[in-house]
Chains A and B, each alone.
Chain A
Amino acid sequence: MSSTTAGQPPTIDVLRAAVAEILGTAPDAVPDDANLVRLGLDSLGMLRLANRVRRAGIRVSFKGMATEPTLAAWARHLDRVAGQPAPGSTVRRAAGATE
């Protein structure tokens, strides 16, 4: 999630790259509307992504991501919560968490 700015939701392509890394596949093999669970992303993988997004200052919830596991739905979910920074999140914390 290195191209994420603290407080700004990652773009759909940043999410795509992060999912592709976990799945060991090319980003273009992860379409916007594909069910990511069917592509091989398990709950712990989603949990890891939720952690990364939260560390970047976006107050995403694991449940919100797990309910509709597609990149398109995640991008909408992230846009909705982008205006509510996570309590205690700071630029320092977000920067320290980039990977």
Chain B
Amino acid sequence: MRRSAIEDIRGLLRDGGSSVVDLIQRTLADIAEQDATLGAFVSVAGEGALREAEAADGQIRRRGDAVWAEHPLLGVPVSVKDLIQTRDLPTARGSILENRRPPVDAPAVARLRAAGAIVIGKTATSEYGWSATTISRVGPPTRNPWDPERSAGGSSGGAAAAVTAGLCAASLGTDGAGSIRIPAAFCGVVGFKPSFGRVPYVPPCADRLAHVGPLAASVGDVAELTAILAGPHRDDPDSGVTSAEQVVRSAPLRIGWLEFPGTSAEVRATCVQAHTALAAAGHQIEPVEVPFADPYAALVDLLAAAEAAGTPPESEPWCDPARLAVVRHGRTVSGETVMRAEQVRLTLRARLRRLMDRYDVLAMATIPIEPFHVDAIGPEWAEDPSDLLWLAWSPATYPFNMTGQPAISIPVGRTPAGLPVGLQLVGSVGEDHLVLATARQVEEQLDPLPAPPRGAMKG
């Protein structure tokens, strides 16, 4: 079973084995040493983080153990994806254009800080999070800690790589088509997209595909963070899903196993460990043909229309040329086309509701393929942005953005090339707890991944 980094930190700080300052200093030193090669961070808190660490040590001295009841994440170094606003660190959103949003903490960041977490830095994303990589004009792409020639995935790729490399205990990411779960799977960490609206997304996205969620080393850490992040906020009118929170279902759960087209032999073979783990936890697993049509074309129209709406023509010289291919398509999308895409979304939601009458949880490989080259936006067949296939290689993630269902990716093993494979578990809207509980059971059955080979990152 994977150990909780948050519990480790809390245990050591409570026990007097370290000061918060020592922990943060060491973490900053690790970032300084490793990140020039890894490319996970776009900014680092430095002195500000150390001042917060000193204040945290002061609280521990004054209040002793009582401080953790109010601040359960006291002294825990976390990173925040650079798409999410912070009051102190700059927010570039993967773009070299000026960000005119006010420098205040997004609600999710404010909640982490109120729980005592220390924001150690902002992590890399693609421009406005458009692609499932971290290629942008802000800095170099994030490398996969398991193989620096491969992509960490994205768009929360910096977040996943930072957790994998131990440069923070946890990270805040966003997921509009798979952007938490894809890098979590590629890098071998846990990434959770809660039900739509459970964690406030501010400012909200009109496409209503985007979610905020945590990435961490263990399911327990992700569950603890989700509890802290969740809850309505006035600035996100969609936030506030709380239904079914306490429904408890015990084994055997009915689990539908889906295999999406294009699944590689390596990924399929690694997933056998997931079948074994689910069965060992006492669940009934039934293979299911993917019971819905691929909604990719509708997703493309929705995302492209949103990209076009957010990209005035005069900004184009400063934009990522690959993203502009999507923007150009978006400018051709009519209102009629958007409504057709919304109809596809409604049909998909209804189809999945019917499916969830038969199954408590759906399980599948998070991504059917291994990580591709670090400089590419997808595998070879999806590399050309003008083909509009930039997310088509991840058919198991984006349907659940369209339905708003809770979905987690946990590491299940590694391919013969040593690359992590993620298992995705998906529940009904509002049943986040069931997804987390099932993920925890699977995690308990699996051997944790070892530390990634540091030598590979030394260049």
Q: A: which residues have CB within 8 A of B?
A: 22-25, 37-45, 47-48, 50-51, 54, 60-63, 66, 86-87
Query: Could you give 30 example pairs across A and B, Cβ below 8 Å?
Result: A22-B450, A23-B450, A23-B451, A24-B450, A24-B451, A38-B454, A39-B454, A40-B450, A42-B165, A42-B166, A42-B167, A43-B27, A44-B5, A44-B166, A45-B166, A47-B5, A47-B8, A48-B3, A48-B8, A50-B12, A50-B17, A51-B8, A51-B12, A51-B17, A54-B12, A61-B17, A61-B22, A62-B22, A63-B18, A86-B17
> Is B89 located at the chain interface by the 8 A CB criterion?
no
| B413 vs chain A, min Cβ distance (A) | 12
Contact of A40 among B8, B11, B12, B454 (CB under 8 A): B454
For the complex, count residues of B whose C-beta is within 8 A of A. Answer: 29
B22-39 residues with Cβ-Cβ distance < 8 A to A are: 22-23, 26-27, 30
B432-457 residues with Cβ-Cβ distance < 8 A to A are: 449-455
Contact (A42, B12) CB under 8 Å given A50-B18, A61-B17, A63-B22: no
Contact of A38 among B9, B11, B16, B455 (CB under 8 A): B455
Looking across the interface, which residue of chain B has its beta carbon closest to that of A41?
B451
Contact (A66, B26) CB under 8 Å given A48-B8, A50-B17, A86-B16: yes
Looking across the interface, which residue of chain B has its beta carbon closest to that of A87?
B16
Q: Which A residues are in CB contact (< 8 Å) with B169?
A: 44
Cα(A62)–Cα(B5), bound, Å: 14
Q: Which A residues are in CB contact (< 8 Å) with B98?
A: none
| B31 vs chain A, min Cβ distance (A) | 10
| A18 vs chain B, min Cβ distance (A) | 12
Cα(A12)–Cα(B231), bound, Å: 48
Contact (A66, B9) CB under 8 Å given A41-B451, A60-B17, A87-B16: no
Q: Which B residues are in CB contact (< 8 Å) with A43?
A: 23, 26-27, 30, 166
Q: Which B residues are in CB contact (< 8 Å) with A66?
A: 22, 26
B350-405 residues with Cβ-Cβ distance < 8 A to A are: none
Q: Which A residues are in CB contact (< 8 Å) with B27?
A: 43
Looking across the interface, which residue of chain A has its beta carbon closest to that of B453?
A40
| B227 vs chain A, min Cβ distance (A) | 21
Cα(A47)–Cα(B458), bound, Å: 22
In the complex, the answer to whether A45 meets B26 with C-beta atoms within 8 Å is no
Q: Which A residues are in CB contact (< 8 Å) with B15?
A: 51, 54, 86
Cα(A42)–Cα(B321), bound, Å: 37
Looking across the interface, which residue of chain A has its beta carbon closest to that of B449?
A24
| A76 vs chain B, min Cβ distance (A) | 18
Dominant secondary structure of chain B at its interface with chain A:
loop
Report which residue of B19, B23, B165 has the largest number of chain A beta carbons within 10 angstroms of its beta carbon.
B23
Cα(A21)–Cα(B369), bound, Å: 28
In the complex, the answer to whether A25 meets B450 with C-beta atoms within 8 Å is yes
Report which residue of A25, A44, A54 has the largest number of chain B beta carbons within 10 angstroms of its beta carbon.
A44
Report which residue of A37, A38, A47 has the largest number of chain B beta carbons within 10 angstroms of its beta carbon.
A47
Cα(A25)–Cα(B27), bound, Å: 24
Report which residue of A37, A41, A62, A87 has the largest number of chain B beta carbons within 10 angstroms of its beta carbon.
A62
Q: Sorted from nearest, which 10 A-B pairs have the closest CB atoms? A: A24-B450, A42-B166, A62-B18, A40-B454, A40-B451, A63-B22, A44-B166, A43-B26, A48-B8, A54-B17
| B453 vs chain A, min Cβ distance (A) | 6
Report which residue of B17, B22, B451 has the largest number of chain A beta carbons within 10 angstroms of its beta carbon.
B17
Cα(A55)–Cα(B9), bound, Å: 14
| B170 vs chain A, min Cβ distance (A) | 10
| B454 vs chain A, min Cβ distance (A) | 4
In the complex, the answer to whether A40 meets B452 with C-beta atoms within 8 Å is yes
Cα(A62)–Cα(B458), bound, Å: 24
Report which residue of A23, A41, A43, A66 has the largest number of chain B beta carbons within 10 angstroms of its beta carbon.
A43
Q: Which A residues are in CB contact (< 8 Å) with B458?
A: 38
Proximity bits, B157-196, A CB within 8 Å = 1, else 0: 0000000011101000000000000000000000000000
In the complex, the answer to whether A62 meets B17 with C-beta atoms within 8 Å is yes
Cα(A22)–Cα(B166), bound, Å: 12
Looking across the interface, which residue of chain B has its beta carbon closest to that of A43?
B26
Cα(A47)–Cα(B454), bound, Å: 18
Q: A47-B18, A54-B17, A66-B22 are in contact. List 7 more A-B contacts (CB 8 A).
A: A22-B450, A22-B451, A40-B455, A43-B23, A44-B8, A47-B8, A66-B26
| B390 vs chain A, min Cβ distance (A) | 32
Cα(A24)–Cα(B452), bound, Å: 9
